[in-house]
Amino acid sequence: MKRLVIKVGTAVLTQDGELAYERMQNLVKLIATLKNEKNIDVILVSSGAVGAGYTSLKLDKSVLANKQTLAAIGQPKLMKTYQEMFEEFGITVAQMLFIADDFDSRKRSKNAKNVMEILLKNKVLPIINENDVISTEELIGDNDQLAAYVTHYFKADMLSILTDIDGYYNKNPREFNDAKILKVVNEISEEELNKKPTANSKFATGGIVTKLKAADFLMQKNIPMYLTSGFDLKNAYEFLVDNIHISGTIFK
Ligand code: ADP
């Protein structure tokens, strides 16, 4: 594997309205291992701006404009935290903000492609987030699908989504005790793709459905997606660093 996109969600990055520093630190260590030891070009798609903004200003997040305002405040805080953490590993970071529409416009995505190639050639870590301020209601917060577009357009070999659960289950494991994890998924039904999103935390927006949509988009393009926990990175190390698939779900 040469090029890998890692997407990490709000559930992993924030805790009780604060940035979850220890989990961020662990994620940074994983990415440093992939870059510095495995020579993999990593692109990070990171949520967490709204949560980070909320630590500075308590606005009602149920109002869209407030949420976008919090993202504007939180984005530099998030980047500052990443920048300091990656500096310890000698890694320079860069910020790229997109909305899904950007990938429909050849001209815009071509410019972004040129920048991406220069960044990766120079071992810089691009950190991507949705440009929340100009995003619309339907899409705001949905970094899962944005990450899928990023993976396709920047020609990565795989997308790995790190969330608050260790994989995709045959039914919601928070509702059903007998839910079983699916190790490999080759097909996602229309019914599953059209379910109403059920995100776990109040900061999260996507739930499992946006992850399935991301997987479906990539499967049609023959690009695999790996879903596992961003809380305990054991599975991620085994699969992404050591190439052994013990747990977590591969969509291919
Ligand atoms: P993130 O902030 O990382 O995007 P979300 O909270 O939006 O995370 O989505 C993950 C949540 O989706 C899980 O914690 C779980 O509660 C929920 N979920 C619903 N159905 C399933 C399923 N079949 N398998 C796994 N998780 C599911």
Phi/psi for 97 (5° steps) reads -110, 130
Span of 95-104, 121-130, 226-235, 238-247 with lowest mean pLDDT: 95-104
Looking at every residue in the chain, the average pLDDT score rounds to 92
Determine the distance separating the centroid of ligand 1 and the alpha carbon of 164, expressed in angstroms. Answer: 7
Determine the distance separating the centroid of ligand 1 and the alpha carbon of 160, expressed in angstroms. Answer: 15
Residue 251 clears pLDDT 90, i.e. is over it: yes
pLDDT of residue 204: 46
Beta bridge partners of 130: 98
Question: Which two structure tokens, joined as six digits, stand for 61?
Answer: 């997040």
CA distance readout (Å), 205 to 26, 120, 201, 226, 228: 23, 30, 8, 20, 18
- Pocket probe for ligand 1: among 196, 200, 231, the residue whose CB has the most ligand atoms within 8 Å is 200
pLDDT of residue 202: 45
**Percent of the chain residues topping a pLDDT of 90:** 78
* Count of all residues that appear for the chain in the document: 252
The protein residue with its alpha carbon nearest to ligand 1, atom 5, reads 207
Model confidence over 136-192: pLDDT tens digits? 766 655 899 999 999 999 999 999 999 999 999 999 898 899 999 999 999 999 998
Beta bridge partners of 127: 44, 95
Determine the distance separating the centroid of ligand 1 and the alpha carbon of 205, expressed in angstroms. Answer: 10
- Pocket probe for ligand 1: among 13, 144, 172, the residue whose CB has the most ligand atoms within 8 Å is 172
Separation of alpha carbons 60 and 62, rounded Å: 6
Residues with CB under 6 A from ligand 1: 9-12, 163-165, 168-169, 171-174, 198-201, 204, 206-208
Closest-lying ligand 1 atom to the alpha carbon of residue 144? 4
Q: Are 33 and 240 in contact (CB under 8 A)?
A: no
Model confidence over 94-116: pLDDT tens digits? 999 998 888 877 777 888 999 99
Taking the CB of residue 124, how many other CB atoms lie within 10 A of it? Answer: 17
pTM confidence score = 0.94
Determine the distance separating the centroid of ligand 1 and the alpha carbon of 72, expressed in angstroms. Answer: 26
Separation of alpha carbons 251 and 77, rounded Å: 33
pLDDT of residue 196: 72
CA angle 143, 162, 210 (to 5 degrees): 40
Q: What is the largest CA-CA distance in the chain?
A: 49
Determine the distance separating the centroid of ligand 1 and the alpha carbon of 134, expressed in angstroms. Answer: 26
- Position 77: which residue type? K
